[in-house]
Amino acid sequence: MNQQPIVQFKHTTKIIGRKTIVNDLNFDVLAGEVFGFLGPNGAGKTTTIRMMVGLIKISRGDILINGHSIASQFEQAIRHVGGIVENPDLYKYLTGYQNLKHYARMDSGISKKRINEIVEHVGLKESIHNKVSSYSLGMRQRLGIAQALLHRPSLLILDEPTNGLDPAGIRKLRNNLKELAHQEGVAVFVSSHLLSEMQLMCDKIAVLQKGKLVSIENVQAFISKDSISRVYLEVEASQTELTKMLIADLNKTAIAGNGPNELWIQMNKDEVPELNKLLLDNGIRVLSIHVQERTLEDKFLEMMGEEK
Amino acid sequence: MIGLISNEMMKIVNRKLTWIILFLLIAITAGSFVMNKLTEEPVSDWRAEQSELIERYQGQLEIDELSPQMYADTENKLQIANYRLEKDIAPVSENPWSALLRFSGLIEMVIIFAIVIAADVVSREYTSGTIKLLLIRPHSRAKILFSKYISVAVFALCMLAIVFVTGYGVSAMFYGFGNLGTKDLFLNAGGEVTEMNVFLQTVKMYGLSFLPILSYVTLSFAISTILRNSALAVGISLFIMIVGNSIIEATSRISWLKYLPFANSDISLYIFHLPARPEMTLSFSLTVLAVYIAVFAGLSWMVFKKRDTA
């Protein structure tokens, strides 16, 4: 996999009035990765995306795309970018095909064949000659993705791309994005609130809070880092008191769970074998041990909670 | 650039509003010429008619309340009628060119419709959110704005041509196709009665009227770009146009008003020798309009280039 940086944030800062909306971002987005951009409302995600595509000026610092500054070499930089900013706002009074033709004309060397190919790819062949005003949100989302991919960009920026898609559509989009990144080496930059979706889709996660980058990591490392999981334990009803005492020896507290013979303990996943051995050695009949994996959502909310 | 302009033309042509406007344009133009034909009275003896007209004009000139504009107009007509009788030159028989010359008011309709189209072309991209996907393409903002401006200008030119062709077509049904060599009496820039080619006068009036049309288009376009609000752009432009018509009168009294676009935006005043002030000439008016066009276009460019697109 080609791992050269496609996007380079260099001390990127946006100040509006006296308020710092985005504060000194420094990170790279590499070719061939799906990059998730998280943050609560008002963290500056959309502002960052708008700076990346040159819709708003950068107050301090710069953003390089394929080595070209979006501020001073706009046309060379934006040539490699495809995207949807916020909603897929297309011309409703034109047909889907006219919309694509419109964007194709703004780029050099996009053939009719390419347009048809992309229409087929996003599954809009049946309705491409209907007016966009008759499209559902999901269809507009797909048309938006079609216009973003038309010129084979090396950076694809998608803001809330799963908005309005049905479960099958979301799954297909997820697979498409992964394929684009992993097979064709496109850098895919996705911002979303759907944390479970981001967990499935992204290779790397960056978290923005109050305009500052608070974390950037591979998605698995991000979730499991210094993570305390919940371990659910089921034992013979008569042995629960004994079990509690044994666990107390490990300096942990077992708390009664939902079932009559269920307990749960806060502990690291790698301590589970030790616990298991202890229980077996003391003749406890363990019916089940189950580690509840933490999700991106847990981690994200925990992180936001800490900051507050 | 050609691609950008054809995109903008596509967006104009695919709107319902455009077709409503084109329909109204043709219907009103055709209707005016038909009404004119219906109310026309046949002339049996042109000399008797001219004498009658002279008497009527002289009567009008004695009324005090006549506005300066009306006064000058009546004086001009009187001068031509006298000249006719003196030199024994019959008025030209009805022909499409003379009819078109009489309907200079249709050009104001083109201005109104052009204002409406121009008011929408930038602000609509903002209200529908499409501006975002439009600006993230490998084209400078200047080129995108300019392609929109050119498209509106081309569309306005088409409307002017449609009025001309429709007017000619309807008149041709009544009066025949007309003769390109037909001459009639006009007053020249010096105020002397002169024989001039009617067809060339018509072409001159409609052709040069493109500049006033363009100046209102530019005004409306600039307001719509700066305020991102098409209703305001239409409102302000129409208000200025209507107020402007009454300012033509005031210009004869207050000299600096001649540097405002209003008194300069009616080309027919020069065809019929009715300048708002004696020192104003056709080329003066065209220069003033060109300056305003450049200023408005420059303003919209400066604002559009710098703005953060939220």
Give the one of A55, A75, A76 whose C-beta lies nearest to B309's C-beta: A55
Identify whether A306 is part of a domain.
no
The β-bridge relationship of strands A204-209 and A19-25 is: unpaired
pLDDT for res A165: 82
Enclosing domain of residue A188: 5-224
A236/A219 same-domain check:
no
Cβ atoms of residues B210 and B158 within 8 Å = no
Low-confidence stretches of chain A (pLDDT beneath 70): 1-2, 224-228, 306-308
pLDDT for res B249: 77
Identify whether A28 is part of a domain.
yes
A61/A114 same-domain check:
yes
pLDDT digits (tens, 9 = 90+) for A108-162: 888 999 999 999 988 899 999 999 999 998 899 999 999 999 999 999 999 888 8
User: Mutual orientation of helices B68-87 and B46-62 as an angle, nearest 10°?
Assistant: 150
CB contact under 8 A, B135 and A54: yes
Identify whether A203 is part of a domain.
yes
Identify whether A179 is part of a domain.
yes
Query: B265: closest CA among B218, B202, B229?
Result: B218
A168/A271 same-domain check:
no
Tell me how far apart the terminal alpha carbons of chain A are, to the nearest angstrom. 39
A119/A34 same-domain check:
yes
The residue of chain B nearest to residue A105, with distances taken between CA atoms, is B3
pLDDT for res A251: 80
- Count of helices and strands (H, E) across chain B: 14, 2
Q: Which residues, other chains included, contact A250 with Cβ-Cβ below 8 Å and sequence gap of 6+?
A: A271, A274, A275, A278
Q: What is the 3-state secondary structure (H, E, C) of B198-212?
A: HHHHHHHHHHHCHHH
Domain boundary among A204, A224, A244: A224
Cβ atoms of residues B300 and B225 within 8 Å = yes
Identify whether A212 is part of a domain.
yes
What is the torsion angle, in degrees rounded to the nearest 10, for the CA atoms of residue B158, residue B159, residue B162 and residue B164? -100
A108/A165 same-domain check:
yes
Q: Across A63-72, A189-198, B98-107, B193-202, which has the greatest mean pLDDT? A: A63-72
Q: Which residues of A touch B9 (CB under 8 A)?
A: none
pLDDT for res A241: 83
The two three-digit tokens of residue B65, written as one number: 């309340």
User: Mutual orientation of helices B106-121 and B16-38 as an angle, nearest 10°?
Assistant: 170
Q: What is the CATH number of the domain that holds A106?
A: 3.40.50.300
Sequence spans of domains, chain B: 2-40+96-306, 44-90
Pairwise CA distance, residues B234 & B220, whole Å:
6
Beta-sheet strands, E only, within A80-201:
81-84, 155-159, 187-191
pLDDT of B213 above 90? yes
Domain boundary among A224, A239, A261: A224
pLDDT digits (tens, 9 = 90+) for B226-283: 998 889 999 999 988 888 777 877 887 888 888 888 778 888 888 888 888 888 889 9
pLDDT for res A1: 47
A160/A36 same-domain check:
yes
Identify whether A304 is part of a domain.
no
Check if A103 contacts B (Cβ < 8 Å): yes
CB contact under 8 A, B4 and A53: no
Query: A106: closest CA among A142, A150, A43, A166?
Result: A150
Identify whether A308 is part of a domain.
no
Query: Number of folded domains in chain A?
Result: 2
Question: ipTM for the complex?
Answer: 0.84
pLDDT for res B149: 96
A66/A214 same-domain check:
yes
Identify whether A44 is part of a domain.
yes
What mean pLDDT value characterizes chain B?
A: 89
The alpha-carbon gap from A58 to the nearest alpha carbon of chain B, in Å, equals: 10
A152/A258 same-domain check:
no
A200/A234 same-domain check:
no
pLDDT digits (tens, 9 = 90+) for B36-73: 888 877 777 888 888 888 888 888 888 767 777 788 88
pLDDT of B102 above 90? no
Segment (H or E) for A199: helix A195-201
Cβ atoms of residues B115 and B217 within 8 Å = yes
A189/A277 same-domain check:
no
